Chain A
Amino acid sequence: MTRKRRRLNVLLLCGLGLGSATALTLTAFQDNLVFFRSPSDIAREAPPPNRAFRLGGLVENGSLQREAGPDGRPAARFRVTDGASTLSVTYAGILPDLFREGQGVVALGTMGPDGSFRASEVLARHDETYMPPEVADALKRSGHWNPAEGGAPPAASWNRLDPETRPARAAGGGSDGG
């Protein structure tokens, strides 16, 4: 065995060891590496009151009520769903621009005594789809997609759609939030 061959084998062996060690560690920490918990997780195992955690899911369609809080700051009340369970959320403060019904959100806060989630921070979580406004309008108009109900249809059905062929220009632009 030449020295080169030996160095190659040692390196490959080290790589194998390090790779498996990392894989094992990450698997072991799987449960601790979550950025947010879903309403189903909370329903299964509610965290103790006053313990801060992050709640993630979609803003349920038709659940958003915007109101003015006691001190005049904007406040909102909505429900977060992951399909299986829902949890109602209250928040006082300014919501991010992308916040709307059907949008993903990640909220930081604690469980209140009434079983609702009191958020101190709400972040919007958008999905991996990107499309021009005209294409989104065409999909909405044709009944293929209601953004308030969840994510866009499979990408192959719209990612080559020609926005010019649809009479959607007039409506164009702007976000159709809420």
Chain B
Amino acid sequence: METFTSDGALPGTAAASPAARGRGGARLHRFANPGRFLRLSGRVLPWLIGAAVLALGVGLPWALFFSPPDWQQGETVRILHVHVPMAWLAMGGYAGLAIGSFVALVWRHPLADLACRELSPVGATVTALCLATGSIWGRPMWGTWWVWDARLTSVLVLFFLWLGHAALVRAFEDPERGARMGAILALVGAVNLPVVKFSVDWWNTLHQPASVTRIGAPALHADILYPLLVCALGFTLAFAALVLARTRAAVMERRVRALQTAAAWRAEAGGAA
């Protein structure tokens, strides 16, 4: 099986792999074809970047200059417009990593392995930004940079999971083996996601409960909520564009390496003859 999946990175061979002929998996494996992925993603990427620039171009000035301050937090509340999208991306991105790892483990999807590998450094970055902006916000409002309450601690664990995944998939001589180990780590770490989300409801914490994703009306005034949603959309599009661009680069890199290996083989075979 392993040789087939690594051959999949060579042009045109993935569609013919035995996995592609499995029932139900055929539709999924259409997108495992690296050639088709490169064509499709090449067409989508410019639009993704354009939409991200547009949404952030509207959302950030709106949030940072034109939205009202909070009645008790004053101007400091504007950190919300970066902190909350980063927190959503840290968790949503990890859910994506878990799904990608699941697909990679069950269907031995080489593209899912590559996408997961390229996702984790970006995920670690947004989680670090979430922690940093939260800390900067906590100092003036709560009176402390950091406390070991359930929300903050579980997000720190999420950050370590991202870092651990990024390191683990790169720690093996055989990339296939690294991808498998990383996928298992990602799936085990997924139990942390509900803990992060519900930590503020299950236990008493210094961090306040959810304002937007809660039962009932959002606890933000519309003038603060709408710029937040536009910023969140913009950051999400930028995140997707970044991961897609990284995955494209990884596919091309693997293809170059496969071609070089093939050329070296041919040269060796020719020299021996």
Contact = CB atoms under 8 A, between A and B. Distances in A.
A162 to B, nearest CB: 9
A154 B204 contact: no
Interface stretch (A43-51, A66-74, A127-135): A127-135
Contact of B188 (A7, A18, A132, A177): A18
Nearest to A19: B191
A70 B220 CA distance: 43
Interface of A: 2, 4, 7-8, 11, 14-15, 18-19, 22, 26, 30, 33-36, 38, 56, 95-98, 100, 106, 121-137, 147, 152, 154-156, 158-161, 163, 173, 175, 177
B253 interface: no
A159 B106 contact: no
Max count, chain A CB within 10 A of own CB: residue among B142, B150, B218, B225: B142
Contacts of A152: 219
Contacts of A159: 217-222, 225
Contacts of B205: 35
13 contacts: A7-B105, A22-B191, A26-B202, A34-B203, A96-B140, A96-B142, A98-B141, A121-B143, A130-B73, A133-B68, A133-B70, A154-B216, A175-B72
B270 interface: no
Contacts of A7: 105-106
Contacts of A137: 71
A136 B203 CA distance: 29
Given A11-B105, A11-B187, A128 B209 contact: yes
Contacts of A156: 216-217
A167 to B, nearest CB: 17
B211 interface: yes
Given A122-B143, A132-B68, A156-B217, 17 more contacts: A4-B22, A4-B25, A8-B106, A26-B195, A30-B203, A33-B203, A35-B147, A35-B150, A35-B203, A98-B72, A98-B143, A124-B141, A125-B142, A125-B206, A130-B70, A130-B211, A131-B221
B182 to A, nearest CB: 15
Interface residues of B, number: 49
Contacts of A22: 191, 195
Nearest to B220: A130
Interface string B210-249: 1100101111111111000000000000000000000000
A46 B195 CA distance: 29
A36 B147 CA distance: 11
Contacts of B149: 35
- From A2, A7, A130, A131, residue with most partner B Cβ within 10 Å: A130
Chain B interface, DSSP helix/strand/loop, else mixed:
loop
Given A19-B191, A98-B141, A155 B218 contact: yes
B107 interface: yes
Which of A22, A35, A98, A136 is most buried by chain B, counting CB atoms within 10 A of its CB?
A: A35
B77 A130 contact: yes
A77 to B, nearest CB: 18
Contacts of B150: 33, 35
A11 B218 CA distance: 37
Contacts of A56: 204
A94 to B, nearest CB: 9
Contacts of A128: 208-211, 214, 219
A134 B67 CA distance: 13
B144 interface: yes
Nearest to A140: B71
A135 B71 CA distance: 8
Contact of A130 (B80, B148, B187): B80
A34 B221 CA distance: 31
A173 to B, nearest CB: 8
B191 A4 contact: no
A97 B188 CA distance: 41
Contacts of B72: 98, 100, 126, 136, 147, 175, 177
Contact of A124 (B80, B142, B225): B142
A158 to B, nearest CB: 7
